[in-house]
Every structure is written in structure tokens, then in C-alpha cells.
């Protein structure tokens, strides 16, 4: 392999599941990609791309902006020619942010005058048409996302959602499907026209994978781009086409086999996670933590430890705080939305410490973005070596823990993604080494068939 160019691409993710997915997509394309957690871990040299994983989706907008700007400054110092702000494929946010405020602050800091918003994940049916987001055939505001305990999405019109969040001088516009379908040059022309009208925050209609490729080609040289990981997965093709990357720079993705006790931790209340847990429990022990008992003072941590000690190391286990929509709403009414979320995260983070540090778990799947952030922080993980993206929800990794001689095989999974058997399948896959050649000409990868819209 020839000497790699300097850092080409720097991404800032607002949660860990989506950020590791982005890193794994770049790795699958053959792009040497670093991945660190938080603002203190050093950015290693020698990679073409780097992803900083933050936990800023639901914190105060001012705190999110501060962290995102600090991450951008660090990436620019490391040489990144483009910054990418990564958020969820369902545009998870609230009327106050944090997508709009963070994007505006980044645009002010980086210059360039305009950025695009491309949240679509076409391979799972999450698309945007006439500015409205769909999950399969359902409008976002009519889908299960309207019940999300932290970021309920009740308005399907992303132009309207983004405008409500945006407080700067720029207006929100739409790049409609007829323009996107016409290709990269038409998109670039539309960007110029919108800028002339003072519209500098542009939502893109996106229906098919080729639309993502066209948007990537049209925006690879913008100082700031925003969206879900799926549009960034097409940037390497633009880099190759424009000579920013050579085929000799591309590398195969490799992960070692990891043996040892295995567990699943699930904090997501998404219907898909509940389905996956039910399937897992058909053949494996599952403990569901009763949050109401936890609020009442029950020692649920001791219960979790006893459960794990009873089954590990010989049996794969799962521990979850998932509950029905009715139960979640009752808890929120009694204790407040933020308190319920914080309690679930606190419990699962503490259980992760018991499993990994005390009981020797070496294969771990975590379901739910906020849960993943709390677990990784509790385990003091500040860097992650990503494997190749193998489909929705399938982004395996290796983490090295302070004071631990052996690595932790890790997968941080969005609550809304993955097939019914993903937990058992991935934990088994972790016991086998994996080497995957770069996906240069075909995307998504052939194995990307396990996810569907939820």
C-alpha cells in the first residue's frame, strides 16, 4: 500500500450506535477509519477518516453545540478537509434541537455558506419525499417514532421541523426529488439557486440508493455536510473519482475472533428491539429489569448480578429495561421523562461494569443509542476498532479496556435495526475471525438484508 494521504474526512456523531455504523460503512468501503469516544481521546494519524462519537442527541442544545464545535475544531486541526455531522435516519430531535442548532453552529465555524440534510437510509425504507420522511409506507409522524420516550417525532415534514430548530440567519429549503433524480450537477445548480434566495439549510428528497450517491457526488467538497451514515457511505466513490483517494489506499476490514462469556444489554424500547429480545429469549435466559421496582428502592443491581452469576460463563444472557408503551408512559407520568431514561441508563451502565469487569464478559451487544453511550462511558472505552458494515444494525467492533489484557468484542446497535435473530447470530459471529474486502463498486453490501423499516 502506498503512503496514505492526510485525514480527508472528519465526522461527529450525536450518538454511539449511529457513529459506529458510519465508521463501519467507511471501513467496508476500504477507507482506513479511526473511531474515538468523547472529546479527550487523541485522534491517531495515518487514517483517511475519523469519527468522534458523542452523546449529544438529547442534552441541552447549548451543551450539544459546545461539544460539537470542540469536536470539529479537533478534526480540523488533524487536517480534515470536510466535516460531517451525523444524526439519526429518523431525524431524532425535539422542537428545540439538537440537529438545527448544531448544524448552524458548525456552518458558522467552518464557513461555506450552505449545507445539506440527508437523513434517509434507503435500504431500510427510511426515505424523504417532498420534504416528508417515511418509514416504509408510513409517514414518520404516524409511525412508532411518535411514541419515542426521548425524541417523539410527530411532524413528518423535515423542512418544518428543521426550521423550528434553526435560529440563525439561514432559511430552510428543499431540494426536491426531480432535482435529486437528475443527478449531481442538477443538485449543485439547485444549491446555488437556494443560496441566492438565502436558503442555506437544505433538506434533500431521497428515495433510492442512487440518490444518495448523487448527493454525495454533489457535496463531497462542501466544508460541512450533514445526514445519516448512508449518504457518507457514498463519499468514497466521489473521493476516488476526483483523485482524493487511490485504490492503493483502500484496505480490507479485519476483526479477530474473541471467545469468552457473552451478553446482551438492551435499553431501547423500539418495537424491533422488543421483537429481538423475545426471539433471543426462546433459547436463552433474559432478565427484564422492573424500573418501577427500581424507583421504589428495590436492589435490582443485586438481582442482575445474581442472574448473571447463575448463567455465566456457560450460557449467553440478555438483560433489558425494555417495557411496553403503556408502562413507559406510566413511569414518565410518575417520575418524568428524563428521570426514567436516566434511571434505565444508570442501571444498564452499572450492570455492564459487573458483567465485563467482574464476570469476564468478552462479547457484548448493546441495543439503544443512549444506552450505548452510558455503557461505553461506564467501561472507560475511548477508542473502538471497527469492522466492516454488514447490513442494518450489523457493525461489529473491538474495544480495548483499561487494565484488561484481552479485547472486548462489541456491537452497539440502534434499537430500530436488525433482524429478529441478530443478538444470537452476532454473538456467535464474534467467535470467528473476519476479513472483508473493500466494497468498491457495490453498495450496500450483499449481506445488508437483515433490516427493514420500523
Please choose, from the candidates 53, 69, 11, the residue with its C-alpha nearest in 3D space to the C-alpha of residue 370: 53
Classified as helix, coil or strand, 403 is coil
Q: How many CB atoms lie within 10 A of CB 380?
A: 14
Decide if 45 contacts 402 (C-beta within 8 A): no
What are the helix (H) ranges across 29-96? 61-77
Pairing of strands 9-13, 82-86: parallel
Cell triple for 126: 427510511
- What is the model's pLDDT at position 450? 34
Render each residue's pLDDT in the chain as its tens digit; 454 residues. 344 458 999 999 999 999 999 999 999 999 999 999 999 999 999 999 999 999 999 999 999 999 999 999 999 999 999 999 999 999 999 888 899 999 999 999 998 899 999 999 999 999 999 999 999 999 999 988 888 877 888 899 999 999 999 987 779 999 999 999 999 999 999 999 999 999 999 999 999 999 999 999 999 999 999 999 999 999 999 999 999 999 999 999 999 999 999 999 999 888 899 999 999 999 999 999 999 999 999 999 999 999 999 999 999 999 999 877 788 888 889 998 889 888 999 999 999 999 999 999 999 999 998 899 999 999 999 999 999 999 998 999 999 888 888 899 999 998 888 999 999 999 999 999 999 999 988 899 865 433 333 2
Strand partners for 412? 366
Render pLDDT for 318-341 as a digit per residue (tens, 0 to 9): 999 987 778 888 888 999 888 988
- What is the model's pLDDT at position 5? 54
232 by Cβ neighbours in 10 Å (0-12 / 13-18 / 19+) ranks as buried
- What is the model's pLDDT at position 326? 83
Please choose, from the candidates 333, 336, 354, the residue with its C-alpha nearest in 3D space to the C-alpha of residue 289: 354
Q: How many CB atoms lie within 10 A of CB 447?
A: 13
CB under 8 Å, gap of 24 or more: what pairs does 129-132 form?
129/177, 129/205, 129/207, 130/174, 130/176, 130/177, 130/205, 131/157, 131/158, 131/159, 131/160, 131/174, 131/176, 131/203, 131/205, 132/156, 132/157, 132/158
pTM of the model: 0.93
Amino acid at each position: 500500500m502506498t503512503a496514505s494521504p492526510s485525514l480527508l474526512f472528519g465526522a461527529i456523531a450525536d450518538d454511539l450506535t449511529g457513529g459506529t455504523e458510519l465508521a463501519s460503512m467507511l471501513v467496508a468501503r476500504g477507507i482506513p477509519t479511526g473511531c474515538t469516544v468523547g472529546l479527550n481521546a487523541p485522534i491517531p494519524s495515518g487514517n483517511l477518516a475519523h469519527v468522534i462519537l458523542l452523546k449529544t442527541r438529547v442534552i441541552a442544545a447549548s451543551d450539544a453545540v459546545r461539544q460539537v464545535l470542540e469536536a470539529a475544531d479537533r478534526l480540523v486541526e488533524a487536517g480534515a478537509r470536510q466535516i460531517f455531522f451525523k444524526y439519526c435516519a429518523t431525524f431524532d430531535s425535539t422542537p428545540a434541537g439538537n440537529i438545527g442548532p448544531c448544524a448552524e453552529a458548525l456552518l458558522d465555524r467552518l464557513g461555506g455558506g450552505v449545507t445539506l440534510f440527508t437523513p434517509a437510509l434507503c435500504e431500510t425504507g427510511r426515505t424523504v419525499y417532498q420534504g416528508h420522511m417515511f418509514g416504509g409506507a408510513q409517514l414518520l409522524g404516524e409511525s412508532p417514532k411518535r411514541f419515542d420516550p426521548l425524541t417523539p417525532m410527530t411532524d413528518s415534514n423535515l423542512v418544518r421541523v428543521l426550521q423550528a430548530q434553526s435560529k440563525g440567519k439561514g432559511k430552510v429549503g428543499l431540494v426536491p426529488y426531480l432535482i435529486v433524480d437528475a443527478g449531481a450537477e442538477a443538485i449543485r445548480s439547485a444549491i446555488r439557486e437556494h443560496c441566492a434566495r438565502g436558503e442555506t439549510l437544505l433538506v434533500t428528497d431521497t428515495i433510492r440508493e442512487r440518490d444518495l450517491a448523487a448527493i454525495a457526488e454533489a457535496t463531497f467538497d462542501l466544508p460541512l455536510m450533514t445526514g445519516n451514515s448512508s449518504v457518507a457511505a457514498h463519499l468514497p466513490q466521489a473521493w476516488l473519482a476526483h483523485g482524493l483517494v487511490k485504490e492503493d489506499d483502500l484496505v480490507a476490514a479485519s476483526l479477530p475472533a474473541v471467545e469468552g462469556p457473552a451478553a446482551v444489554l438492551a435499553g431501547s424500547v423500539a418495537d424491533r428491539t422488543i421483537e429481538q429480545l423475545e426471539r433471543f429469549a426462546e433459547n436463552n435466559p433474559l432478565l427484564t429489569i422492573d424500573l418501577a421496582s427500581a424507583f421504589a428502592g428495590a436492589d435490582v443491581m443485586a438481582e442482575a448480578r445474581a442472574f448473571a452469576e447463575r448463567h455465566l460463563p456457560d450460557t449467553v444472557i440478555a438483560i433489558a429495561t425494555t417495557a411496553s408503551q403503556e408502562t413507559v408512559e406510566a413511569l414518565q407520568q410518575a417520575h418524568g421523562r428524563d428521570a426514567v431514561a436516566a434511571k434505565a441508563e444508570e442501571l444498564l451502565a452499572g450492570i455492564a461494569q459487573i458483567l465485563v469487569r467482574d464476570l469476564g464478559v468478552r462479547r457484548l451487544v448493546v441495543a439503544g443509542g443512549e444506552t450505548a453511550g452510558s455503557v461505553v462511558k461506564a467501561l472507560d472505552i475511548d477508542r473502538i476498532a471497527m469492522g466492516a458494515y454488514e447490513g442494518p444494525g450489523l457493525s461489529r467492533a473491538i474495544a480495548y479496556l483499561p487494565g484488561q489484557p484481552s479485547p472486548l468484542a462489541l456491537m452497539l446497535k440502534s434499537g430500530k435495526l436488525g433482524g429478529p435473530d441478530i443478538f444470537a447470530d452476532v454473538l456467535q459471529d464474534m467467535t470467528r475471525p473476519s476479513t472483508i474486502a473493500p466494497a468498491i463498486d457495490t453498495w450496500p453490501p450483499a449481506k445488508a438484508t437483515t433490516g427493514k423499516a420500523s
